[in-house]
Amino acid sequence: MGAVGTIAELDRRFGTPGVAKVVAGNGGLPKVCITSAQTEGEMYLHGAHVTSWKPGGEEVLFVSSRSRWEDGRAIRGGVPVCFPWFGDKADDPKAPAHGFARTKAWQLESIVRGGDAVTVSMFTESDESTKRWWAADFRLFHRATFGRELSLELVLTNTGERALRFEEALHAYYRVGQIERVRVRGLDGVYYVDKTDRNQKKTQQGDIVITTETDRVYLNTEHEVELEDPVLRRSVHVAKENSLTSVVWNPWVQKARALSDLGDDEWKQMICIEASNVGDFAVDLAPGRQHTTKAIVSVANL
Ligand code: TA6
């Protein structure tokens, strides 16, 4: 099951003329390019990382012009997969932020056409490199369906004999016209942890408007979130399943300057809205059991 191999071999095995091809992307990293009547999309085997989705020809995701494209480094933008911990690892400050999944080379399992949509499935599993940081035995699939909507599914199986606990996030970067002018709806009245203010617990009042560095974990919410963008004249809707936290992030000026793989002014063109299960909402999974988290993204014109 699944395939590694040269880009040409992967394209020979999984490519479908006019629909999907495997090519060398940035940094020579293999990527799957999708073209259909409704959309275009891209997904790297590096981190099973979706880097582009263009329903109707308009790009919805943000990718930094300064992103790194190399083994061991996370791509800045698109949809990084954070797993099996979020942020810093509680018991090991040396461990890579947001886990190891986003910097690992995943295997391509299948590319399947369904109507006007195309589903790309990739997976990774426990091995020597993961056990360095995390003892569990697991297999993790990321299935991305590119169509009028973008559907992202993280499917984890505990392949071991002991229960495991994990955090996860589909850490999506959305392209916006001008950050100060967007509004994020759907989290009114929801509790959140403010990571810019000593992890204080607060309650969201009305829409989220970004006026400074924003780093919040919204708790115990399955609400759909709407990102309204008057400059790009569109609204992006993020629905989700089996996800009890939503993270909203914009680095603003100083944090953006401190990130070497983000252009100094690029914070104005991005916002992260992340379907996730983090912190107190980490998931426990018994041996042999499976857990699926899903985000469904759609776009409407304003
Ligand atoms: O999702 C928000 C966040 O956890 C922020 O705290 C910020 O650090 C961001 O992720 C980016 O993290 P990264 O490790 O990709 O630089």
Contacts of 197 (CB under 8 A, 6+ apart): none
Arithmetic mean of pLDDT, 141-166 = 98
* Ligand 1: nearest atom to the Cα of 171: 1
> Is 250 within 8 Å of 267 (Cβ atoms)?
yes
- Ligand 1 within 6 A of CB of 97: yes
Distance CA 144, CA 134 (A): 25
Q: What is the CA radius of gyration of the chain?
A: 18
- Mean of per-residue pLDDT scores for the chain: 97
Cα dihedral 49, 291, 298, 35 in deg (nearest 10): 40
Q: Are β-strands 283-285 and 270-277 bridged in parallel, bridged antiparallel, or unpaired?
A: unpaired
pLDDT surpassing 80 at residue 240: yes
State if pTM tops 0.95: yes
Residue 272 has pLDDT above 80, yes or no: yes
User: Token digits for 172?
Assistant: 């999506």
What are the phi and psi torsion angles at 268 (to 5°)?
Answer: -75, -20
What pLDDT does 2 receive?
47
Residue 103: pLDDT above 60? yes
* Residues 227, 299: Cα–Cα separation, whole Å: 9
Closest atom of ligand 1 relative to the 251 alpha carbon: 7
CA 93 to chain centre: 23
For 222-235, the pLDDT digits (tens) are 999 999 999 999 99
Measured CA distances, 226 to 132, 197, 207 (Å): 39, 25, 10
Q: How far is the CA of 254 from the centre of ligand 1 (A)?
A: 14
- The two structure tokens encoding residue 4: 């590694």
Summarize pLDDT for 117-151 with one digit per residue, the tens: 999 999 999 999 999 999 999 999 999 999 999 99
Ligand 1 within 6 A of 193 CB?
no
Asked if residues 142 and 106 have their Cβ atoms less than 8 Å apart, the reply is yes
Mean pLDDT of 238-263: 98
Distance between alpha carbon 4 and the CA centroid of its chain, in Å? 22
Q: With a 6 A CB cut-off, is 98 part of the ligand 1 pocket?
A: yes
215 CA to centre of ligand 1 in angstroms: 8
Q: Is 87 in the pocket of ligand 1 (CB under 6 A)?
A: yes
User: Given the CA of residue 274, which atom of ligand 1 is nearest to it?
Assistant: 1
User: Which pLDDT does position 216 carry in this prediction?
Assistant: 98
Q: What is the pLDDT of residue 4?
A: 58
* Nearest protein CA to atom 4 of ligand 1, as residue: 87
Active site residues: 171, 274
Q: Is the CB of 2 under 6 A from ligand 1?
A: no
- Spatial distance between the Cα atoms of 287 and 290, rounded to a whole number of angstroms: 9
Atom of ligand 1 nearest to the CA of 97: 14
Q: Ligand 1 centre from 250 Cα, in Å? A: 9
Report the run of H or E that residue 183 belongs to, with start and end.
strand 183-185
pLDDT for the residue 192: 98
163 and 156 Cβ atoms separated by less than 8 Å? no
Dist. CA 36–CA 61, nearest whole Å: 18
